[in-house]
Amino acid sequence: MIFQFAQELDELGLATNGAGLTIRQRLGEILEGPPCSALFLGECGTGRSSTLDLFVRKAKAHGRVILRRCGRAWLWSHSRTGKLETELWPLLASLEAKRVTLAVDDVADTEPRFQRQLLEAAERAQRGQAIDFLATAHVTFPRLAEQGLFSKVLFDIFEGCTVELPTLRAQPENIEPLVLRLVQKIAGGFAVAAPGIHRQAMQHLQAFSWPGNLRQLRTLLEKLVLQHSEGEITAHDLPGWLLSADSFGLLQAARGRMSLRELERLYIGSVLAMTRGHKSKAAAILGINRKTLASKIRRYKIPS
């Protein structure tokens, strides 16, 4: 069972690292063992949602009833049937299935109402109903739980069951084989010939830090494959932002003689903009408490 899912994980860039082996083991446990949980943590673009999709597909093919969060409701599906329900408890009570799989993408962003419904499901699981809990979250999720911004009881369900998906910059030795596999996959999907990749171009791909991880790499390769099918991708074909090897703009900031104070002000402002002014979430991403964040906002006169 452990080694049956290599092809699917290969497409997610997870087949050649420890996370891939852990994922295969966890999937085997969920399909063949007693009810269990899995939380997939990762930065943006690391394939959290795709990994969850893989688990859902395999569980459904295994005859499992799937309940997946869909907007403000739960999508109930089994085989080819499906319907939406707004409340989880009566839905669980009405199901005659021996085992149910709950899947929640970005669990840290769920509303309090959904968190209460998950707690109710956890209570049913404690009373003997067979329920698997699957979820994804950004790597900052544990900080949110520590700061009381997410239910500690729900977080404890996943304690010891987390799988952290690696960033591309943490595994530069795997970028070349991953690029070669993705080029073949993308070319096959578009029904075009797969281009070759010049050694210098590959070196640039390996040197880049990929802040958008697998998603960013795949998007770039799709464009390059379509532009250079039957040819060769050279360093001259790569975009300027990649050739600069400055994915976070740090070299540009250094060339502009930007001080650490100025850089911190810009970064805090960017995080606040990304979280739409949500100070608790911004503080969790920054790794500081909300009081310290408020102090820095006042000191730097950051609009909030």
Query: CA-to-CA distance for 156 and 139, rounded, in angstroms?
Result: 16
- What's residue 297's pLDDT? 92
- What's residue 2's pLDDT? 37
Query: CA-to-CA distance for 264 and 287, rounded, in angstroms?
Result: 13
70 or 167, which is more confident = 167
- What's residue 12's pLDDT? 66
Determine the topology of domain 252-300 in CATH. Answer: Arc Repressor Mutant, subunit A (1.10.10)
> For residue 30, which phi and psi values (nearest 5 degrees)?
-70, -35
Percentage of the residues of the chain whose pLDDT score is greater than 70: 86
248 or 281, which is more confident = 281
Determine the topology of domain 169-243 in CATH. Answer: Helicase, Ruva Protein; domain 3 (1.10.8)
Joined together, the tokens standing for residue 290 give 């909300």
**Confidence label for 80 from pLDDT (cuts 50, 70 and 90):** very low
96-100, 130-134, 174-178, 256-260: which range is least confident on average?
Answer: 256-260
How many other β-carbons are positioned within 10 Å of the β-carbon of residue 304?
Answer: 14
247 or 34, which is more confident = 34
Joined together, the tokens standing for residue 285 give 């991403």
**Confidence label for 61 from pLDDT (cuts 50, 70 and 90):** confident
| Domain-wise residue ranges, the chain | 6-166, 169-243, 252-300
Torsion of CA 247, 301, 109, 153, to 10 degrees: 110
CA distances from 11 to 71, 135, 161, 181, 289 (A): 27, 20, 23, 8, 38
- What's residue 187's pLDDT? 93
Torsion of CA 232, 234, 240, 242, to 10 degrees: 90
**Confidence label for 79 from pLDDT (cuts 50, 70 and 90):** very low
* CATH top class, domain 6-166: alpha beta
Q: Report whether 166 contacts 22 (CB < 8 A).
A: no
Over residues 147-162, the pLDDT tens digits come to 888 888 888 888 778 8
pTM confidence score: 0.72
Q: What is the mean pLDDT of the chain?
A: 82
Query: CA-to-CA distance for 76 and 66, rounded, in angstroms?
Result: 6
**Confidence label for 292 from pLDDT (cuts 50, 70 and 90):** very high
> Which amino acid, 42?
G
6-166 matches 252-300 in fold: no
- What's residue 5's pLDDT? 54
- What's residue 186's pLDDT? 92
